[in-house]
Amino acid sequence: MEALPGPYLLFLGDTTEAGYAKTAYGLRDWAPNRCLGEFACEGATVTTGLRFMTPAEAAAKGARSMVIGVANAGGVIPEAWLGSLLQAMEAGLDIISGMHVRLGEIARLRNAAAGLGRRLIDVRQPPAGITVATGHARSGKRLLTVGTDCALGKKYTALALARAFSQHGVDAHFRATGQTGIMIAGSGIPMDAVVADFAAGAAEILSPDAADEHWDVIEGQGSLFHPAYAGVSLALLHGSQPNVVVVCHHPGRQRMLGHPGYALPSIEETIALALQLGSRTQPAIRCGGVSLNTAHLDETAALRLLASESDRLGCAVADPMRGGPAFDRLVEDCLA
């Protein structure tokens, strides 16, 4: 994290779907001291709630870079964004990106950066030397968050659980697998940028042998049911060899994000499939509970839902961002 030039101006592009702004939201929530404000193209309707600033205003207040806070389908940088990115460099800001498309591959950005002395920093760059997975058992303990869909709380759940484990005196580390998590944690492997044959091997590298009581809390990606992203989800499940999975879900979401032709699976289906597939490399795998994203509900409705779902499913059900007794039980059941 310290290697990235901050503070940041968060760039929201022309985004109108909040689910695609998860990088900006993640940095706002988990690295707030590094976020000065936000900037967006005309037509954007999504906001982090931070002060809107032009790149020049942000630079005057001490910003050193502008972070692309969007994780859109395919990780592309559209033509409509280029003017804003050039404006940021002209104001003296470096550009940080977690997109699949490399900043330096875009001639206008590459040439402008060279002329202005600005840096183009791509976070979504896997390390060299990743090998094919071995499937060999590893020491230590691991927890993986899995989801019914994309962009519904797997990263937040993993971060909250890792923090709670540490507060309980447990030796634990958050292991980032996506661009936002890497920006927050300062290290990790962008799983969706790894060549498919080596993705499970990357997950093994991410959570190596450790002390018997050490926990790696691993950020999940995608969904085992997703028509586009199930491959990375499965590779992460097999390579992580988790002792515990926590299923993440957004109550009320009916269709897959970006793929409305596909319905979301149930929580029960997700638990069953994760345990079936995960047992291939970790026979002792179990479900530690369920994490619900209840940000769209008021507190009374959220607590009622958490309690009713816990009764229905017969396991701990919590919203990690709300905390409370329900989250305490989830932590205890995961560590049990």
Q: What is the pLDDT of residues 144-173, one digit of tens each?
A: 999 999 989 999 999 999 999 999 999 999
| Order of strands across the sheet that contains 215-218 | 172-175, 215-218, 141-147, 244-249, 286-292, 317-318
Do 141-335 and 8-122 have the same topology in CATH?
yes
Which pLDDT score, from 0 to 100, does residue 295 have? Answer: 94
DSSP letter for 229, please: T
**Topology (CATH) of 141-335:** Rossmann fold (3.40.50)
pLDDT value at 310 more than 90: yes
Are 211 and 198 spatial neighbours (Cβ–Cβ below 8 Å)?
A: no
Q: Span 102-112, mean pLDDT?
A: 96
* Mean pLDDT computed over every residue of the chain: 95
pLDDT tens per residue across span 30-39:
989 889 999 9
If one counts every other C-beta atom within 10 angstroms of the C-beta of residue 305, the result is: 17
Q: Span 224-250, mean pLDDT?
A: 97
SS3 label, residue 64 = coil
Domain ranges of the chain: 8-122, 141-335
Determine the Cα–Cα distance for residues 24 and 47; give it in Å rounded to an integer.
9
**Where are the strands (E) in the chain, listed by range?**
8-11, 35-39, 65-68, 94-97, 120-122, 141-147, 172-175, 215-218, 244-249, 255-256, 259-263, 286-292, 317-318
pLDDT value at 2 more than 90: no
Are 58 and 84 spatial neighbours (Cβ–Cβ below 8 Å)?
A: no
pLDDT value at 1 more than 60: no
The percentage of residues in the chain with a pLDDT greater than 70, rounded to a whole number, is 99
- Burial label for 54, CB within 10 Å (0-12, 13-18, 19+), is middle
Q: State the DSSP H helix or E strand holding residue 111, giving kind and residue range, or none if neither.
A: helix 107-116
Give first-to-last CA distance, the chain, whole Å.
32
Determine the Cα–Cα distance for residues 81 and 103; give it in Å rounded to an integer.
12
SS3 label, residue 256 = strand
Are 326 and 317 spatial neighbours (Cβ–Cβ below 8 Å)?
A: yes
Give DSSP secondary structure letters for 32-63.
GGGEEEEE--TT-----SSPB--HHHHHHTT-
- The candidate with the shortest Cα–Cα distance to 229, out of 201, 262, 206, is 262
pLDDT tens per residue across span 48-82:
999 999 999 999 999 999 999 998 878 899 999 99
Stated pTM of the model? 0.85
Determine the Cα–Cα distance for residues 144 and 148; give it in Å rounded to an integer.
14
Q: Span 317-325, mean pLDDT?
A: 97
User: If one looks up domain 8-122 in CATH, what number appears?
Assistant: 3.40.50.720
Distant-in-sequence, close-in-space partners of 149: CB < 8 Å, separation ≥ 6: 223, 225, 226, 249, 250, 253, 256, 257, 264
